[in-house]
């Protein structure tokens, strides 16, 4: 399996080993556009791999902070109490760049920038940029994707 994230259409496509589309999902990438520099809050381009799968067994809408479940379950009421919080929900697929000097090492390192594919509140608009650099997905779709990929799965982010 391989994943392609297409920035212009805000889609994530899961491909089989022959390059055939298995699933396609609407996503939301960085509101600041694309870029690799630390602190840019942009979505990094290029070749990546899934470095870690985090959240196995957690319930839908489980809240994560620093890749750890907080014990909270996201609700619209919780969201209203903490407006502006960047919600990371349900599962995390932590990305690591594979292109040294472009998205790996130094100030452009995707993994050190904590770039994930992760769940988001149901009311979050997908299909347009809006994240802080990560790739946001519907929780139910992320759970499906999570079960279909493994650590080491290739992820290509293209414009």
pTM (2 d.p.) = 0.96
Q: What does pLDDT average to over the chain?
A: 97
Q: Return the CATH fold of 2-158.
A: L,D-transpeptidase catalytic domain-like (2.40.440)
Do the Cβ atoms of 38 and 110 come closer than 8 Å? no
Query: pLDDT-based confidence at 84, cuts 50/70/90?
Result: confident
State mean pLDDT over 93-109: 97
Distance from first CA to last CA of the chain, Å, rounded?
A: 21
Query: pLDDT-based confidence at 106, cuts 50/70/90?
Result: very high
Instruction: Give the pLDDT score at 127.
Output: 97
Instruction: Give the pLDDT score at 87.
Output: 97
Environment class of 35 (CB within 10 Å of its CB; exposed 0-12, middle 13-18, buried 19+): middle
State mean pLDDT over 95-122: 97
Q: β-strand 135-138 against 116-120: which pairing, if any? A: parallel
36: Cβ–Cβ under 8 A, 6 or more apart, which residues?
A: 42, 44, 45, 46, 97, 102, 103, 108, 110
Query: pLDDT-based confidence at 45, cuts 50/70/90?
Result: very high
Do the Cβ atoms of 122 and 50 come closer than 8 Å? no
Query: pLDDT-based confidence at 83, cuts 50/70/90?
Result: confident
- Report domain extents, the chain: 2-158
């Amino acid at each position: 399996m391989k994943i392609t994230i297409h920035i212009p259409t805000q889609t994530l496509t899961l491909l089989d080993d022959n390059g055939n589309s298995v699933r396609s999902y609407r996503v939301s990438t960085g509101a600041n556009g694309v870029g690799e520099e630390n602190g840019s809050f942009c979505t990094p381009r290029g070749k990546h791999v899934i470095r870690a799968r985090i959240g196995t067994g957690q319930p839908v809408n489980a809240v994560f902070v620093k890749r750890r479940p907080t014990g909270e379950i996201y609700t619209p009421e919780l969201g209203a109490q903490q407006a502006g919080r960047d919600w990371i929900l349900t599962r995390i697929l932590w990305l690591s760049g594979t292109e040294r000097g472009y998205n790996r090492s130094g100030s452009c390192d995707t993994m050190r920038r904590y770039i994930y594919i992760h769940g988001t509140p149901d009311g979050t608009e997908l299909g347009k940029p809006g994240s802080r650099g990560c790739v946001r997905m519907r929780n139910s779709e992320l759970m499906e994707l999570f079960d279909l990929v493994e650590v080491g799965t290739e992820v290509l982010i293209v414009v």
